[in-house]
Structure 1
Amino acid sequence: MKKLSILLFSAWLVPQLVYANVDNGAFEDWSNGSADSWTTVDSGIAVSESTSVVKSGISSAAINVTTGTQGSTDFRQSIAVTSGQSIEFSTWVYHTEGGMRARLYVDGYRGYSDASVTNQWQQISYNFTPSSSGNIEVGLRFYDVSGFDGSEVVYVDDFEPHDGVGNGGGSGGGSGGGEGCVTTSGSFNLTTDNYASETSWQIENAQSGVEASGSGLSNNTSYSEDLCLDDGDYTFTINDAYGDGICCSYGSGSYELVIDGTSLTSGGNFGSIETFSFSIGSGGGTGGGGTPPDLTGYYANASGLSGYNLKSALYDIIKNHSSQGYSGLWTFYSSYSLDQYYENDGSILDIYAERPTSNDPYTYSAGSDQCGNYSGEGSCYNREHSFPRSWFGGAIEPMNSDVHHIFATDGYVNSKRGSYPYGEVGSASFTSQNGSLLGSARSGLGYSGTVFEPIDEFKGDLARAYFYMATRYENVIAGWDSNSSSVDAVLNGTANQVFESWFVDLMKTWHNQDPVSQLEIDRNDAAHSYQGNRNPFVDHPEFVAEIWGN
């Protein structure tokens, strides 16, 4: 069993109020070196006033935990609650070394802090509705993690229970009672599998503060966490320590994030981690992939440049994106690769199956129809590296998970495409149900081998993905042309032009004939929120001609 240390708080309720009130929860009042209204009852911690690391006001409590033994670090008061009165408890903690994590205690053990987030404030919160009136204990418990050296300072500030209905009080009866959250309400619903101890989750705001989190869960149990979020950008993350998700080998776990009545993301079949970014408020709407940046500012360092100097400036802007891992692509597809543009049926938008002007031959549901094995078209969808991964040497990051060039496609058609170059087919040996072709290159293309030709609707999308790859990986792409005969047919071994002349001409033609669509714009915004960089050729289609000529 892990060693534990515990820090507990409580306070007296002012009887006239309908919500709990922590006395000196902001840790502003101190006498003789002790926080007023707080009593240290054990010897495993030392509490002192801090004026240097403060969340708000002028003071916080600096808690030096000197033991990993449970039950010897209590710091408490007594707090009274009223039956049926919803209270949202929250506190802010600040880790200095990352050797332990804090867990909120509200009449039981609740969410954790993230021990790896050091030298910044993060919030832990929990919404609690007492089943009976009386006193409860509230506070924090600290769990040592790898790296705890027997002494660690954790700062605590703004321990605040407040009225869960968000109306500042009132009886809760009569009209208008129980209006809910004053900003944006939601919930996180989780059903664990047979190994719940492996599962943890959190919602983090743009300042890396933890708005809600959960771990230390029970097997095969359903949880529902109420959320109340201000306008802003957020990232939801769910982790599985073993790396097999929560469905379906060892139980039937699942999760769903609901904001303002809309289900933003759900799932259960993932590896070690899934992430989902969303925004609340007028800046971008829920689930919109975040608010697009000011593109003038984003591309400021490329202003006035042209030719390969422009390309190099763009490389400096978009390099060093944050890889989310190959398994993370499933989550991206479930959130941002849905058909809201053609049939608008919410199915996976498969660029090798989509029929823009008629019904699709088959559809896939996000999450449940992932490959997997396939026996033919319509079996499952997978992750198609439009720039084949054998071309850059295999499952190598960050190329292997870079969502800007990896699209959801039918598994069988993807296998038929293989690592052949994109091109225009003269004589087809295979035709997919949406009209994508595999076969010998047409006469006059400048290449005489086997090529794969997508339908016209997505030719520009793929061309701009290739111009992105030429730019994002300018520092390494010159060395890839010897990895296979197919890539050698496309790359010319340089870091400036990058592609053979026949392929540059083809990509420019596709780029011009199939202009940027709303689908691409939305996907680019989502990719920026997801991994932190953009495709410049979606934002500025004119960059293609400015770099590679007309």
Structure 2
Amino acid sequence: MKRLLTFSVKRPLVAAVSLLPLAASAQIANADFESWSASGPDSWTTIDSGITVSQSNSLTYSGNAAATIDVLTGAQSDTDFRQSIAVEAGKNYEFSVWVYHTEGNLAARLYVDGYQNYSDDTLTGQWQKLSYSYTASTSKTIEVGLRFYDQAGFDGAERVYIDNFSPAATGSGGDGCSQNSGTFSLTTDNYGSETSWQISNSGGQQIVSGSGYASNTTTDTAVCLADGDYTLTVSDSYGDGICCSYGSGQYALVVGGQTLASGGQFVAQDVTSFSVGSTGGSGSDLSGYYSSADGLTGYALKTELYNIIRGHNTQTYSDLWTFYQSYGDDKYYENDGSILDFYSENPTGNDPYNFTAGADQCGTYSGEGDCYNREHAFPRSWFGGAVAPMNTDVHHVFSTDGYVNGRRSSFPYGEVGSASYVSANGSKLGNAISGLGYSGTVFEPIDAFKGDVARAYFYMATRYEANIANWETISAYGDAVLNGTDSQVFESWFLAMLKQWHAQDPVSQAERDRNDAAYSFQGNRNPFVDHPELVSEIWGN
């Protein structure tokens, strides 16, 4: 399956590592050594036969990998480990790298357009930072890297680890990226070596990539992108994607807090086109169903989305059972046809129990696993009870274990500090964690479904813009979450948490499929599933 979508990032963003195709940024590609291929760390060149380079996953400064350098001779003749980058005349750059000496008989020397500072080889068994401040005299391409020198006691085979090169133009915030930064997160399936990915610019030039992954692991790779148009291609060499027949793989590209691409279910390739940079107006290229909202930002954008999705076809409460039987089965984890339940699903292993569509509807229950029912993620007591159309709006009413639904009751979602109850899949009820901004009882779903919950709430804030300001005082728990406006809608503590959940748990294929099904069922869509970046366009990063 291929998707061709377009997004934009409106604001200046932060952090990164990958090489830009423009001269002004001086970014080192694969600076954290997270990306490797058969020939070694991507984007790096070894030009002296006296060293070997291999991947370290056990000893790293940060992330999942570092470079292991084994120096096998004291007779080196040139810079050992390097790459070329572009610098701009008159700009200052702070280059640095973290070095870990094992025996102390070898020194590393930073190379930045010439030989610069040495590491302290007497500091063994710990990470030390080697840095150099560089001012470019002209706009040009320079070499950056390391050279290794034998010291007293060198025995012909010394080892040093290196990690996190970090060049940053002065004034860019010291984060190494003066353009648009973000992270590509990848969780592999049972055959990680089959997965690869790359981001290419509009000219077809590869900007950053990754391959050669271990199975069932999660890797985050920082990316730094100049303003422009790009294509993300995620590939599976066997042709069966990374979810869900042989593991639960997934990927997400997040730039500036906005999820620009995510998925896992595809065949040979998943292709997403996107744009980053200041474009004026809305950061999204909205067309078709959302075309009337194109160019809008903030609460004006939210209001136009309300105009687009309001007036859906109200269904009966019994119709929800039919929806679950038709569209609620688990095709994403066990793929066994059972009901997909937020409160019992175990994304990384066997479920504690399963529900059969139709046969296991509640009913009565005495404990977990007895039956499934209709969980209002936004409790109906908050809007006055069985009131149409909210009561049967499938965008926020999910099939869940009846007993766990009862334990959740009408408590707000939140993050639990001290749990009084934990469901079989790890969902929790208890006192809110310190610092949340709310001190009462909250219910916390597992991480895999927090984004789903957040996007259901952003939908409710938008679909019911004309009503939601009046719901604040209906319920004490609703009052703790709602702020009595039709713009921000939520109290600041709850909004901050929702945005965090939205960013940390990107849109899944299950959400996309459910959104399509909901559109067929009741005639409207959740904009924040179709365009996750709209959250920050309306409520900020």
What is the TM-score when the length of structure 2 is the normalising length?
0.47
| TM-score, normalisation: structure 1 | 0.46
